[in-house]
């Protein structure tokens, strides 16, 4: 059975029927990206992914990376794949054309990423971190710095990372101790150690540009005293040429559960006292600046979860169609009855439907967050720009946390459907789960994302951000109520939305009171029910479009559209009732977790 990655029909549905991304070509900025061009982009990405990138995925998992005298070596097969990325200009697909990017809409870039990221997540992490470093330079760099770095980054000639975490400062970045001492010539001498650095070193690019969080001597304590520096592996002169080695060395690589082909490095800065960096942006504003890259990275991690989940679902549904096992339930008494494909068994269908619900819904959600970025870029008024940015801000923790948690659920079911074969390395399902398991951890754990949703996003701009999002949700519900096939489900989704508003107000008030500890003990369940409601919104939106398209649809499209409606109905009938129950629990604001004394947990 040929391995699949993503459902091309579903990608087309999301881009052209749900969001109509081809209409972005009516703006001057995206004029060249009409439907024909977009279809060609996705087709080429699919071809590259299936023919060239996917074969390197298991190789990367088997071989991993190695460290030789401070130089990380990636699997040799990665080199050709990376070269094809660069030659096809796939590194900077959505980046600024003035600096070597292709300038396509981000929502179109998602269509390509669905395949490329799903084909080899580990390899694509090098690229995602590279473009993220470029975004920081483009946003906060001087004109000189942009000339020195951006084109080489966006074309993939140079790599990029971000250096945040330290041994004593994981999620608490205010505790970092890496020092930056002025050299008197505009550069700084850096010293310190960073850990868990994705792509901290590799041998596919001639240089690597590291944005590094560090403290200038005498800076305030905590996050208020952190600055951001550019520290290239090889020093870069003002004309863009490379100079001497810059005393930033990989001293170790981690042996991980998954993403073996991605180097996770310990980076030592200035062991020999010769690590130079240049300030990026303003002194003591590093954390605020780095959040630009971190927010983009969180969306990338959500996309990573989607790609792996989609991959697992495509494998599972095709395997279930082909693998014959057991008699049909209606013929169990007939010993001579033939074995039937797994997909004919009710419990297998239940598992597949659970997988489809989240693979479909996550695709719409993550594409939508990027589509909002496109809409913001072509908006004609500041109010419209603000609205879309508000929606993005609220959705980021949901895209990152909810989607990655559900992606693990999908990948786990993907193993279950294969049975014993899913657990062995001959088949791809177990690697997909291992590769996915990191997604709830890095770029801010999912618990931190839940705290961000409750503590920051709920009250952002005096509630305007969340209200802008709710306005879009209610627009979809109103449209669905006008379509008879989905009107009843729309009412159920509306009940869940209204109850979420009630829960949000209640827990938001508690979070700002003396009951703050109890509120944040319920932050994660609140994130989950928020994600469920957003998922219901996306599935309702999809099914409304599908129901409208059924009239006059081509025969070959009818099963697809009917599948959208059935998928939404399953979620509304089987998942939302549980969500409503969770909302009751959140309103109750159980305090057991915070009332437990430390010695109540045992373990001694």
Q: Which residues are identified as catalytic?
A: 443
Return the DSSP state at 163.
B
Q: Which helix (H) or strand (E) holds 230?
A: strand 227-232
Task: Using DSSP bridges, classify how beta strands 324-327 and 242-245 pair: parallel, antiparallel or unpaired.
Answer: unpaired
Task: Phi first, then psi: give them for residue 268, nearest 5 degrees.
Answer: -100, 125
Task: Using DSSP bridges, classify how beta strands 208-216 and 159-160 pair: parallel, antiparallel or unpaired.
Answer: parallel
Residues forming beta bridges with residue 208, ordered by sequence position: 159
Task: Phi first, then psi: give them for residue 59, nearest 5 degrees.
Answer: -60, -45
What is the rounded distance in angstroms from the CA atom of residue 429 to the CA atom of residue 423? 7
275 SS3 class: coil
What is the rounded distance in angstroms from the CA atom of residue 465 to the CA atom of residue 582? 24
Q: Dihedral (C-alpha) 74, 78, 79, 81: value to the nearest 10 degrees? A: -160
What is the rounded distance in angstroms from the CA atom of residue 531 to the CA atom of residue 577? 14
C-beta atoms surrounding 548 within 10 Å = 18
What is the rounded distance in angstroms from the CA atom of residue 22 to the CA atom of residue 42? 13
Residue position matching structure tokens 């590279």 = 130
SS (H, E, C) 84-101: HHHHCCCCCCCCCHHHCC
Return the DSSP state at 400.
I
- 491 token code pair: 């009412």
Of the candidates 445, 136, 433, 483, which has an alpha carbon nearest to the alpha carbon of residue 313? 433
What is the rounded distance in angstroms from the CA atom of residue 142 to the CA atom of residue 146? 6
Return the DSSP state at 457.
I
* Contact in structure between 194 and 121 (CB atoms under 8 Å): no
Task: Using DSSP bridges, classify how beta strands 66-68 and 179-182 pair: parallel, antiparallel or unpaired.
Answer: unpaired
């Amino acid at each position: 059975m040929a391995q699949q990655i993503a459902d091309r029909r579903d990608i087309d549905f999301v881009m052209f029927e749900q969001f109509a991304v081809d209409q972005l070509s009516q703006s001057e900025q995206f004029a060249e990206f009409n439907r024909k061009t977009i279809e060609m982009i996705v087709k080429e990405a699919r071809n590259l992914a299936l023919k060239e990138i996917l074969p390197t995925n298991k190789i990367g998992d088997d071989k991993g990376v190695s460290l030789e005298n401070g130089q990380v070596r990636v699997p040799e097969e990665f080199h050709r794949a990376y070269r094809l990325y660069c030659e096809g200009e796939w590194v900077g697909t959505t980046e600024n054309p003035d600096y070597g990017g292709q300038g396509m809409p981000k929502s179109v870039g998602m269509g390509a990423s669905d395949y490329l990221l799903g084909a080899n997540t580990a390899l694509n992490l090098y690229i995602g971190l590279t473009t993220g470093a470029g975004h920081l330079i483009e946003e906060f760099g001087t004109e000189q710095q942009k000339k020195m770095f951006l084109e080489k980054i966006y074309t993939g000639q140079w790599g990029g990372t971000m250096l945040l975490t330290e041994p004593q400062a994981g999620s608490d970045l205010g505790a970092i101790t890496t020092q930056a001492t002025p050299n008197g010539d505009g550069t700084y001498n850096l010293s310190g150690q960073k850990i868990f650095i994705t792509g901290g070193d590799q041998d596919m690019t001639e240089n690597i540009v590291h944005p590094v969080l560090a403290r200038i001597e005498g800076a305030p304590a905590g996050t208020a005293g952190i600055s951001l520096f550019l520290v290239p592996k090889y020093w870069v002169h003002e004309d863009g040429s490379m100079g001497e080695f810059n005393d930033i060395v990989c001293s170790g690589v981690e042996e991980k559960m998954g993403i073996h082909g991605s180097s996770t490095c310990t980076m030592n800065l200035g062991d020999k006292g010769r690590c130079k960096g240049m300030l990026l942006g303003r002194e003591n504003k590093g954390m605020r600046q780095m959040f630009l890259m971190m927010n983009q990275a969180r969306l990338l991690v959500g996309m990573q979860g989607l790609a792996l989940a989609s991959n697992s679902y495509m494998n599972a549904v095709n395997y279930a169609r082909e693998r014959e096992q057991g008699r049909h339930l209606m013929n169990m008494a007939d010993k001579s009855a033939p074995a039937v494909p797994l997909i004919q068994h009710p419990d297998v269908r239940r598992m597949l439907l659970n997988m489809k619900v989240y693979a479909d819904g996550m695709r719409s959600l993550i594409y939508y967050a990027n589509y909002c970025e496109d809409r913001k870029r072509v908006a004609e008024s500041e109010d419209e720009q603000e609205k879309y940015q508000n929606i993005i801000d609220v959705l980021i923790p949901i895209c990152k946390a909810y989607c990655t948690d559900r992606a693990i659920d999908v990948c786990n079911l993907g193993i279950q459907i294969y049975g014993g074969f899913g657990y062995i390395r001959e088949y791809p399902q177990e690697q997909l789960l291992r590769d996915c398991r990191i997604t709830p951890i890095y770029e801010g754990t999912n618990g931190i994302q839940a705290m961000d949703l409750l503590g920051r996003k709920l009250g952002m701009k005096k509630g305007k951000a969340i209200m802008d999002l709710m306005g879009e949700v209610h627009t979809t519900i109103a449209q669905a109520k006008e379509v008879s096939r989905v009107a009843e489900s729309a009412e159920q989704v509306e009940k869940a939305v209204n109850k979420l508003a009630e829960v949000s107000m209640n827990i938001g008030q508690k979070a700002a009171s003396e009951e703050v500890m109890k509120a944040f003990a319920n932050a994660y369940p609140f994130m989950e029910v928020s994600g469920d409601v957003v998922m219901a919104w996306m599935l309702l939106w999809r099914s409304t479009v599908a129901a409208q398209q059924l009239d006059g649809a081509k025969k070959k499209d009818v099963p697809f559209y009917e599948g959208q409606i059935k998928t939404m109905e399953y979620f509304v009938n089987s998942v939302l009732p549980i969500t409503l129950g969770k909302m009751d629990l959140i309103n109750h604001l159980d305090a057991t977790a915070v009332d437990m004394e430390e010695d109540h947990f045992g373990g001694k």
